[in-house]
């Protein structure tokens, strides 16, 4: 013990420090709980990093608690799609997710230039979501996000010059995309789901 500090004051100082530490911990925990993050936010990051097994394990936990969880069903279909590359099965799984109140989500590259058969140079990556409310592109980098209601879509189809790409025309502006699989099957799947969702 320091000779210049009485024992009673030292005990009081320790209690004050402990109380302050407890308040700090409470604030940190409170922030984590009220930050607005949903349980599927972590799943999105895992899928984005191509850690499909981990994403599927977390989604299975969510679906054990609620087998009709719309977002969990949606992202399970997404993880299965990119892990298995089974596009016909993905079509059925996304339709089931849509019936439950979810939809379809894809990891895409958003071109900032007109897509041709050449490689895209100016682009950003992100998530393309199809839901009952319409379409939303959420970039994981950059600021080129947008939302568009199904009634406002002027065109949604695969590209003529590059079958591995598709475009969405909304509000007079054409947005070009490529799916993560970089195959001509993913754009066909996305367009088919768009048509199916707009008919329901």
Claim to verify: residue 109 and residue 125 sit in the same structural domain: yes
Question: pLDDT tens digit string along 177-197?
Answer: 999 999 999 999 999 999 999
Query: What integer pLDDT is reported at residue 93 of this predicted model?
Result: 98
Summarised one tens digit per residue, pLDDT across range 8-18 is: 676 666 666 65
9 is a domain residue: no
Same domain as 163, residue 98: no
Q: Within this chain, do residues 146 and 199 fall inside the same structural domain, yes or no?
A: yes
CATH (domain of 114): 2.30.29.30
CA distance 161 to 186: 16
Indicate whether 73 and 139 sit together in one domain: no
Q: What is the total count of domains within the chain?
A: 2
Give the per-residue pLDDT at 187. 97
DSSP string of 15-59, one letter each residue: HHHHHHHHHHHHHHHHHHHSS---HHHHHHHHHHTT-HHHHHHHH
Residue where a domain stops, chosen among 48, 70, 102? 102
Instruction: Tell me how far apart the alpha carbons of residues 62 and 67 are, in angstroms, rounded to a whole number.
Output: 8
> Which residue do the tokens 């109380």 mark?
19
Q: Could you list the residue range(s) of the whole structural domain that residue 63 is in?
A: 37-102
Among 159, 156, 181, CA closest to 78: 181
Q: Produce one character per residue of 20-44: b if its CB has 16 or more CB atoms within 10 Å, e if not.
A: eeeeeeeeeeeeeeeeeeeebeebb
Last residue of a domain, which of 85, 102, 119? 102
pLDDT above 50 for 166: yes
Query: What is the domain-level CATH number for residue 93?
Result: 1.25.40.10
Pairing of strands 173-179, 104-111: antiparallel
The domain boundary, picked from 57, 77, 102, lies at 102
Residues 127 and 79 in one domain: no
- If asked whether residues 128 and 187 sit together in one domain, one would say yes
Same domain, 141 and 193: yes
Residue 27 maps to a domain? no
pTM across the whole model: 0.77
Please indicate, yes or no, if residue 8 is contained in any of the structural domains. Answer: no
The arithmetic mean of pLDDT across residues 140-167, rounded, is 91
Calculate what percentage of the chain has a pLDDT beyond 90. 66
């Amino acid at each position: 013990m320091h000779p210049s500090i009485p024992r009673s004051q030292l005990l009081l100082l320790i209690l004050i420090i402990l109380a302050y530490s407890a308040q700090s911990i409470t604030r940190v925990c409170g922030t984590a709980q009220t930050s607005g993050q949903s349980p599927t936010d972590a799943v999105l990051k895992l899928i984005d990093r191509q850690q499909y097994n981990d994403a599927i394990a977390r989604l299975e936990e969510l679906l054990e608690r609620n087998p009709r969880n719309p977002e969990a069903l949606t992202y399970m279909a997404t993880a299965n799609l990119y892990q298995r590359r089974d596009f016909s099965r993905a079509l059925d799984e996304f339709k089931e997710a849509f019936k439950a109140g979810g939809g379809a989500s894809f990891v895409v590259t958003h071109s900032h230039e007109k897509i041709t058969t050449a490689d895209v140079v100016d682009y950003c990556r992100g998530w393309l979501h199809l839901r009952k409310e319409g379409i939303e592109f959420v970039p994981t980098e950059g600021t080129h996000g947008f939302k568009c209601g199904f009634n406002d879509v002027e065109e949604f189809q695969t590209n003529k010059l590059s079958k591995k790409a598709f475009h969405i025309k909304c509000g007079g502006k054409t947005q070009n995309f490529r799916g993560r699989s970089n195959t001509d099957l993913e754009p066909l799947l996305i367009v088919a789901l768009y048509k199916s969702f707009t008919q329901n």
